[in-house]
Structure 1
Amino acid sequence: MTRIGIRTIANMTRIALIGAAAAMALAGCMQTPEEKAAFAARQAAPTPVVMSATKGEEPTESGLSHYKDGYPGFGAPLTAANVQMSDDEAGGVQKQLTALAAQRKAGTISEAEYQRRVAEFRKLAAEHGAETLSEIAN
């Protein structure tokens, strides 16, 4: 082949490879309508929740420090929204669970009684958060 023919083939091959690479890159950018909707849902702002004063009373001030004009100041350290479980309470619950497991292992408690107590603890775990939130809200 001639020199010009070899250059032409090399240039055509180069252009074909660049075109194929561009097509593959653009194909990766294509999204289905479901993917676009899921992305838009993730990017949407959360729905605001407006809490009104209960029983017509003025809302109480939070644990935040407030300026003279009433706006909160965030310089002071924040406190917990509710009373937290103490180390003694946590240790007591842990001892109860450990004792229950030991009774089951030793055979001093029936399987039915063990399952009843486990269900009782699970019910407490599932409902305690909702009950506490309703107490806080009211």
Structure 2
Amino acid sequence: MDGGMVASFNRYSVICGILAIALAGCSTPAERAAWAAKRAAPTAVVMKSKDGTPVDGTGAAISKDGFPDFNTPLTAANVQINDTQATDIRSQLTALGAQRQTGAISQAEYDRKVIEMRKLAANHGQDTLSEIQK
């Protein structure tokens, strides 16, 4: 390579580097707002106690001397699915798949049931949360 070609290449590299650095910080107000929303702390959900007693907010058990006691077992924030419910759901899904494979239900009926289950999955969390907050 001759000197002129090297100089042109170097100049081109410097210009590209400066442009990359300058454009790296460019963003629209909407992009900055979306980024800030992603990084924001989640909103707290205040749960009511099952028996109606006031909740102290710490969630930790307090020992006799007033210090937190970390030896007590943790409890779930909500009622968890039990083995019987899991078995029932599994049998329903297995039966649906078997009906589809044997042709007992049409593809349209199968698709309708899948859409119904997906809708239930999408809305179940919010529905349960609003029921808990009552």
User: How would you bin the TM-score normalised by the shorter chain?
Assistant: 0.5 to 0.7
Deviation string 1:61-105 (CA, Å, 9 cap, x unpaired) is 35433589x99x595675421122234422321111111121222
1:19 deviates by 3.9
The answer on 1:23 being equivalent to 2:15 is yes
Relative to its length, the structure with more helix (as a share) is 1
Does 1:127 pair with 2:86?
A: no
Q: Give the equivalent residue in structure 2 for 1:108.
A: 104
Taking the aligned partners of 1:91 and 1:66, their CA distance within structure 2 comes to: 38
Q: State TM-score, norm by structure 1.
A: 0.57
Task: Find the counterpart in structure 1 of residue 90 from structure 2.
Answer: 94
C-alpha contact 1:65 1:75 (8 A) present in aligned 2:
yes
Q: C-alpha distance in 1, partners of 2:69/2:14?
A: 52
Q: Which has the larger radius of gyration?
A: 1
Counterpart of 2:40 (choices 20, 32, 46) is: 46
1:46 maps to a residue whose letter is A
Q: What are the within-5 Å matches in structure 2 for residues 10-89 of structure 1?
A: 17-31=9-23, 32-34=26-28, 38-39=31-32, 41-43=34-36, 46=40, 49=43, 59-61=54-56, 63-66=59-62, 75=70, 78-89=74-85
Counting aligned pairs with the same residue, the percent is 39
| 1:91 match: secondary structure | helix
Higher relative contact order (CA 8 A, sep 6+): 2
Change (3 A) 1:33 1:126: closer
Number of residue pairs the alignment of both structures matches: 124
CA distance in 2 between counterparts of 1:41 and 1:58 reads: 39
TM, length-normalised to structure 2: 0.59
Which position in structure 2 is the counterpart of 1:4?
none
Distance, in Å, in 2 between the alignment partners of 1:38 and 1:53 is 34
Partner secondary structure for residue 30 of structure 1: helix
Q: Secondary structure in 1 aligned to 2:15?
A: helix
What are structure 1's unaligned runs of at least 5 residues?
Answer: 1-8
Post-superposition shift, 1:28? 0.5
Q: Is the 8 Å Cα contact of residues 53 and 59 (structure 1) preserved in structure 2?
A: no
Root-mean-square deviation (CA, aligned residues, Å) is 4.1
